[in-house]
Amino acid sequence: MRSEVDVFREFLAHKEMRFTPEREAILAEVFAEHDHFDVEELIMRLRQKGQRISRASVYRTLALLVASGLVQEVFYEDGHMHYEHIYGHDHHCHLRCLGCRSIVEFRDPAVEEAEKRIGRGHDFATTGHRLDIYGYCRQCREKKE
Amino acid sequence: MRSEVDVFREFLAHKEMRFTPEREAILAEVFAEHDHFDVEELIMRLRQKGQRISRASVYRTLALLVASGLVQEVFYEDGHMHYEHIYGHDHHCHLRCLGCRSIVEFRDPAVEEAEKRIGRGHDFATTGHRLDIYGYCRQCREKKE
DNA sequence: TTGATATTGAGAATCAATCGCAGATGAGAT
DNA sequence: ATCTCATCTGCGATTGATTCTCAATATCAA
Ligand SMILES: [Mn+2]
Ligand SMILES: [Mn+2]
Ligand SMILES: [Zn+2]
Ligand SMILES: [Zn+2]
């Protein structure tokens, strides 16, 4: 499998855009760990590594990463968008604890199958889906008692 | 089944809040038709019926309607939140056309079952879910050819 | 009526996200 | 290496949704 760097390079080349140091650093940081981050967190992490990239460039690059399919918007919460890298991971959905806000990823064939079936039933050519399941994790349930 | 008015009245009474003319008008308008609206649309509809309610009150009342469970946030798009009334409807999810932005509602037992099963498998006490399926409707597919 | 409390509307404030633009940068071309 | 010129970046200003503040108003109970 090609690296995310190669994918992004190619995506940019195709649009006659440059693979700049800023874009490279942001890409690297986004793929440095697998989690669900927001712009503020991303900027902080870059800072801690000595990278001083402007907010505007972070937003601009994130938009490019989403357009390229390497990254996706996961959810809008606390008044702003959250992202995760998805290249190299197979499609998954999220269980979200309403207590501690923790997130558990899961993969489920029945859900994948449901997408196709429901699409067929309504004459939609489906391209994907997003499923969030809400609830309370064990810890939060025990805490409440 | 109790009317949404009764439910809201009771909800407000329980919090020692008043059922004002403004809240009544907003509630009525939200339940006047079943669709997926945003704050701007709601204000416009109220205007057209001669209601002149401040933006702040619309936002405040919408928050109360969500808290009461009569209304839910459906999706965040175009930079702002969209809502729908849900009281009196059984739970449903959405098929969303990426071409014309049209929305089709569907109910599917397999998805309901998946919520429970996945919750059990990860020791989550689930309270609900949100599933959006993306794709292209027939019209949009034909248009593209 | 009166007093206590809740509510409203208007505008200010907040905050994420986007924009405009002047100067910086980078990939050729010479 | 230098020149050229389109692309980029950072800064600051701007936009737009949502929330907040607060003075004036409305409601309820006594
Ligand atoms: Mn994830
Ligand atoms: Mn709906
Ligand atoms: Zn939890
Ligand atoms: Zn369509």
The count of domains in chain A is 2
> What pLDDT does B69 receive?
97
Are B70 and B103 in the same domain? no
Residues B28, B85: Cα–Cα separation, whole Å: 11
**Which positions ≥6 away from B59 have C-beta within 8 Å?**
B39
B103 and chain A: CB distance < 8 Å anywhere? no
Q: In the listed set B35, B55, B85, which residue is the last one of a domain according to the structure?
A: B85
Which residues of B are less than 8 Å from A129 in CB distance?
Answer: 131-134
Are B13 and B36 in the same domain? yes
Q: Which of A90, A96, A138, A97 is nearest to A111 (CA)?
A: A90
DSSP character at residue B64: H
Ligand of minimum distance to the alpha carbon of A104:
1
Check whether residue A60 has its CB closer than 7 Å to nucleic acid strand D: yes
Can you give the C-alpha Rg of chain B in angstroms? 18
What one-character-per-residue DSSP string does chain A give? ---HHHHHHHHHHHTT----HHHHHHHHHHHHS-S-EEHHHHHHHHHHTT----HHHHHHHHHHHHHHTSEEEEEEETTEEEEEE-TTS---EEEEETTT--EEEE--HHHHHHHHHHHHHTT-EEEEEEEEEEEE-HHHHHHH-
B121 and chain A: CB distance < 8 Å anywhere? yes
pLDDT digits (tens, 9 = 90+) for B101-136: 999 999 999 999 999 999 999 999 999 999 999 999
How many residues comprise chain B?
145
> What pLDDT does B144 receive?
72
Predicted TM-score (pTM) of this structure? 0.92
- Is pLDDT of A20 > 90? yes
Are B97 and B81 in the same domain? no
Tokens encoding B89: 């409807």
Are A9 and A39 in the same domain? yes
Q: In the listed set A40, A60, A85, which residue is the last one of a domain according to the structure?
A: A85
Residues B18, A117: Cα–Cα separation, whole Å: 47
Are B81 and B98 in the same domain? no
Are A73 and A13 in the same domain? yes
CATH of the domain at B140: 3.30.1490.190
Q: In the listed set A38, A62, A85, which residue is the last one of a domain according to the structure?
A: A85
Residues A85, B14: Cα–Cα separation, whole Å: 44
Check whether residue B81 has its CB closer than 7 Å to nucleic acid strand D: yes
CA distance B49 to chain A (A): 31
Residues A91, A87: Cα–Cα separation, whole Å: 9
Q: Helix, strand, coil % (nearest 5) of chain B? A: 45, 25, 30
Are B9 and B52 in the same domain? yes
Are B120 and B58 in the same domain? no
Residues B71, B63: Cα–Cα separation, whole Å: 9
> What pLDDT does A143 receive?
87
CATH of the domain at A69: 1.10.10.10
Q: Average pLDDT for residues B94-107, to the nearest whole number?
A: 96
**Range of B131's domain?**
93-144
How many residues comprise chain A?
145
Residues A85, A73: Cα–Cα separation, whole Å: 9
B111 and chain A: CB distance < 8 Å anywhere? yes
Tokens encoding B107: 């109910």
Q: Average pLDDT for residues B44-55, to the nearest whole number?
A: 96
Are A77 and A97 in the same domain? no
Are A26 and A76 in the same domain? yes
**Which positions ≥6 away from B23 have C-beta within 8 Å?**
B8, B12, B61, B64
Which residues of A are less than 8 Å from B67 in CB distance?
Answer: none
The pLDDT-based confidence of B80 (bands split at 50, 70, 90) is: very high
Q: Average pLDDT for residues A84-100, to the nearest whole number?
A: 96
Are A33 and A79 in the same domain? yes
> What pLDDT does B126 receive?
98
Tokens encoding B106: 């569907």
Q: Is the Cβ–Cβ distance between B22 and B61 less than 8 Å? A: yes
Are A100 and A38 in the same domain? no
